[in-house]
Structure 1
């Protein structure tokens, strides 16, 4: 794929050349070993000249963020790509960590709901990551932009389930657990069929499963989506911080709006709090209808809202693992009533720093093989019910046969 381009035939132009600085000369041997390991895992190392050719001199901007600018392009064989060029204006240590975190984590994954890594480029002039191209962009523009083409409620539930499956894969199915740390609508990309793929692994971290929490110090994520333990220091940081962020994303899918609309301090319109209040009054359906959800999608939206309330519990241990979240969203189980969330917002004084007491028996390391009775109950299917009836009938027949045999034997004894 990359070999079809002759580097000497193109003149590379590095984006934002005025910001270029020699930031990639730190610890060169370590970085080179890291890059060589990546190549062994089949991630292709492209040259700056090749990326310049693939992107037609970086002529099409797809988007930008705090870490870099994303350009559209295509390989010589016609496959479309997205090229994320990292900002050189970042402090060199932070830029290096971001690059290594992104390519090392996504390079280890292979899942239909995670964006695919094609390769990377790295030298003293620029650092870039090459991904598959996602035709419909990010989820946020469909939730918050009134001019964007709408998505029906059934498809929104599919997007929520697919996103949950991608995160569950990171947490439970990779050889080492990957914590994303920045789940939000702008980091959920949609392909041509609106299938979701989790992207942007710049803050991600690979963890050993035996470690119950991340010992890293410092705030991670995006305000409004990050779990409260980052600010309050009332709980250790675990992979359950992704569950909280996913819950906040679910609220925005249900409401098709940003969670917070800031006016005056006294009139903060915070959607998650409204969802809980309407849930307490058993009026979720009325609220959902008022936010543009069609009547035939109400039950699905209610399910997403209740799952969101479970995901944003104050205690990480009280939040369900993502494989349980998937089952709850898919609708094959009965979701248990969630406790009141956001106690940290309604507490005052010393209570603010005291974690709420959670009496459940779940483990923070729970997996699909563990008990999820705190969050849902399995439904009995028709086949299961028929099986139970057959077993009960068989047992009753044996019992009746045993009784008849005993009675007959007793009569025989008496007659003799």
Structure 2
């Protein structure tokens, strides 16, 4: 009897042990299977993430390359322009041709004259070294350049409406004051970017209507950086060798032994504002002496409290007179003889947009007393320069 009981107990124990072992074995296999599956899934996820990351990085690098000026070959330029078939304009240092990239994007190619001198080469390098670093809606974009023994050229975005001077000085292609006001602010924002928002400050030195290009929507873009210079932000003054700029737009300090700062661009912008306001050249010889030089006439009318006569003379409608008056006062501030008296471009924008009060400007032309108030010392030089605009502008009033 006792032997039977012992056998039963032993048998039950063995069965229990075997059952436990079996269960443990099954659980172990399941855990191993799960771990393997998890590892495979993790490896797969890592591979997918790696592929995604690599694609993202490659696209990012491609975008960086696209943002920088590309170096083209002479054959590239010939292909883009169909062997320079369509000429847009020419200037002292080169000729501009219309072209097209293989993807259909229209371009303007400025080919430097083969008989270029050292100054032309300096301007070529200045363009690449300054505008090649910028990306702003109000600055013309430089796509690339060619620097071969047979050809030196700059490749820009194509601007459908040409240069601003074609709409200011052509009776058949006038723009309305409201549109010109928008253009004036856009130009100011482009210059502000050069002065305040680039890694290195850029001084343009040649702000004038011929160097302002207009796209299909008449949005302005500052162009022609052949005289521009990069400046360290810590240095308030710039060393300038030789005269820069265009007579009639260039600040006085560019022509006399006087320290030069970025405020020379502010002066040029002020002279440009006068021409935008009057839709005429600042200097027109043969008019009554008081109106020959437009900026001085504006100051005389402001001093006499007769800006309304300026508005009437310039054909400015009543609804635009507030904007026009702001342009008058900002222009007078921008062309102050002393650079320190001129506003920053940011302040000029705020005043134009009505966000900053405009204090009554001081007389910007006290030096003219020494010339008997005559404007005859001012050159009638138009200062036309090669730019990336089309040779023809649309003739409709906007």
- Give the TM-score taking structure 2 as reference length: 0.75
> For 2:182 and 2:120, how far apart are their aligned partners in 1?
35
Give the corresponding residue for 2:144: 119
Q: How many residues are matched? A: 309
Out of 290, 294, 316, the residue aligned to residue 313 of structure 2 is 290
The residue aligned with 2:386 is none
Per-residue deviation, 1:267? 7.4
The 1:267/1:88 distance shift into structure 2, 3 A limit, reads farther
Does 1:204 find its partner at 2:234? Answer: no
Q: Do residues 187 (structure 1) and 217 (structure 2) align?
A: no
> Cα deviations across residues 354-400 of structure 1 (Å, max 9, x unaligned)?
xxxxxxxxxxxxxxxxxxxxxxxxxxxxxxxxxxxxxxxxxxxxxxx
Pick one of 90, 96, 99 that aligns with 1:73: 99
- Per residue, is there more helix in 1 or in 2? 2
User: Partner residue of 1:104?
Assistant: 129
Alignment partner, residue 51 of structure 1: 77
Q: Secondary structure at the match of 1:202?
A: coil
Structure 1 residue 89: Cα displacement: 2.8
For each residue in 1:305-336, what CA deviation from the matched residue of structure 2 results, as whole angstroms up to 9, or x when unmatched?
A: 11000000000000001111111111122211
Please give the secondary structure, in 2, of the residue aligned with 1:333: coil
Q: C-alpha distance in 2, partners of 1:167/1:103?
A: 17
> Structure 2: how far apart are the matches of 1:212 and 1:102?
22
**Distance (whole Å) between structure 2 residues aligned to residue 293 and residue 67 of structure 1:** 38
Q: Cα distance 1:261–1:60, how it changes in 2: closer, same or farther (>3 A)?
A: same
1:89 aligns with 115
Task: Output one character per residue of 1:191-226: Cα deviation in whole Å (capped at 9) or x when no partner.
Answer: 000000000000000000111111122110000000
1:163 alignment partner, SS class: helix
- Mapped pair 1:245 → 2:271: no
1:138-149 alignment runs, 5 A limit: 138-148=163-173
SS of the residue aligned with 2:255?
helix
Partner SS state of residue 130, structure 1: strand
Q: CA deviation at 1:109?
A: 0.3
Q: 1:89 to 1:344 in 2, by over 3 A?
A: farther
2: CA distance between counterparts of 1:231 and 1:193?
37
Structure 1 residues 298 and 41: alpha-carbon distance in aligned structure 2, compared to 1, 3 A threshold = closer
- Write out aligned runs for 1:249-328 (5 A): 249-263=272-286, 269-328=292-351
Shift of residue 39, structure 1, vs aligned partner: 7.4
Confirm or deny: 8 A CA contact 1:137 1:191 kept in the other structure.
yes
- The question of 1:155 aligning with 2:176 is answered no
Of structures 1 and 2, the one with the larger relative CO (CA 8 A, separation 6+) is 2
What is the deviation of 1:60?
1.4
In the alignment, the residues of structure 2 paired with residue 333 and residue 207 of structure 1 have an alpha-carbon distance, to the nearest angstrom, of 28
Q: How does 1:316-395 map to 2 (within 5 A)?
A: 316-347=339-370
Contact 1:262 1:268 in 2 (8 A): no
Cα-to-partner distance string for 1:111-147 (whole Å, 9 max, x where unaligned): 0000011111111111101010111000000000112
Maintained 8 Å contact 2:254/2:260: yes
Task: Mark the CA change 1:217 to 1:312 in structure 2 (over 3 Å): closer, same or farther.
Answer: same
Name the stretch that deviates more: 93-102 or 239-248: 93-102
* Secondary structure of 1:203 counterpart: coil
Among 228, 239, 255, the alignment partner of 2:252 is 228
Measured after TM superposition, the shift of residue 281 of structure 1 is 1.1
Structure 1 stretches of 4+ with a deviation exceeding 6 A read 38-41, 264-268
| In structure 2, C-alpha distance between the alignment counterparts of 1:329 and 1:66, rounded to whole Å | 35
Q: CA deviation at 1:69?
A: 1.2
Post-superposition offset of 1:348: 6.2
Deviation of 1:347 (Å): 3.0
Query: Retained in 1: the 8 A contact 2:159–2:216?
Result: yes
On the 8 A contact 1:275/1:305 being kept in 2, the answer is: yes
The answer (yes or no) to whether the contact 1:64–1:70 under 8 Å persists in 2 is yes
CA contact (8 A) 1:289 1:295 kept: no
